[in-house]
Amino acid sequence: MANPRLSKNGWIENFNNLNILAECTSYKILLIGDSLVSGLSRYDRVWQKYFHKRNTLNCGIGGDKCSNVLWRSKHMSLPILLNYIVIHCGTNDLNTSTPVDIANKIIDIGDTFKKRSPGAVVIVTGLLPRDLIFTLKRSSIQKVNSILNDKCVGRGFLFLLPDAGWLVGNNLLNEQFIL
């Protein structure tokens, strides 16, 4: 099910502001997802080097679950010249949904965008590992990523599995990424 986050103060205003940006400019890449996507714009040097010069629109909203991103995929304006749609969400669903449900919602998001912008390439990114040590959440993430990998192939989506450098030794999170 697709739901807006009406209980989150400012969420609709944030969504409306992103719509205005999408309507008024000629972005070629759309990034959509949760706080991991939204947070990219906080790192100006990285954003300028990798995203800004490629005409990228950041439509990440912190705290969003897959159902919120799905709702946005159905209701947002899309840039006319859109070439790529990059989807990254699901980590906020780990406490309330099964890996199959999470993966299916992410695929639904991709399907929605593909119908709305058939010329754009849909890229689904795998969920990043969580927790310093191996936990049930990490196990769920691995399952989500495995399911996404299989489902993306059948739909012609590109799937990007997180780089193995996130984990070291005995499945521990690489501490160089901990702030």
Q: Kindly state the percentage of the chain with pLDDT values over 90.
A: 64
Q: How far apart are CA 176 and CA 160, in angstroms?
A: 22
E runs forming strands in the chain: 29-33, 56-60, 84-88, 121-125, 158-160, 167-168, 172-173
Domain map of the chain by residue range? 26-162+172-177
Q: Which two tokens stand for residue 95?
A: 């406490």
Predicted pLDDT at 41? 83
What are 5-28's pLDDT values in tens digits? 988 899 999 999 999 988 877 899
Pairing relation of β-strands 56-60 and 29-33? parallel
Residue 49 structure tokens: 């080097």
The β-bridge relationship of strands 29-33 and 84-88 is parallel
Give the per-residue pLDDT at 26: 85
Q: Is the pLDDT of residue 102 over 70?
A: yes
What global pTM score does this model have?
0.90
Residue 111 has pLDDT above 80, yes or no: yes
| The CATH homologous superfamily of the domain defined by 26-162+172-177 | SGNH hydrolase (3.40.50.1110)
Mean pLDDT, residues 126-154 = 92
Check whether 127 has a pLDDT greater than 50: yes
Residue 143 CA to residue 169 CA, distance in Å, equals 20
Of the pLDDT bands very low, low, confident and very high (cuts 50, 70, 90), residue 42 is confident
Which range (59-68, 95-104, 127-136, 148-157) has the least confidence?
127-136
Q: Are 34 and 62 in contact (CB under 8 A)?
A: yes
- Confidence tier at 179 by pLDDT (50, 70, 90): very low
pLDDT tens figures, 141-167: 999 999 999 999 989 999 998 866 666
DSSP 3: -
DSSP annotation of 93: G
Q: What is the pLDDT of residues 163-178, one digit of tens each?
A: 666 667 777 767 765 5
What's the whole-number average pLDDT of the chain? 90
When pLDDT is averaged across residues 32-56 and rounded to a whole number, the result is 89
Residue with the bigger pLDDT between 102 and 168: it is 102
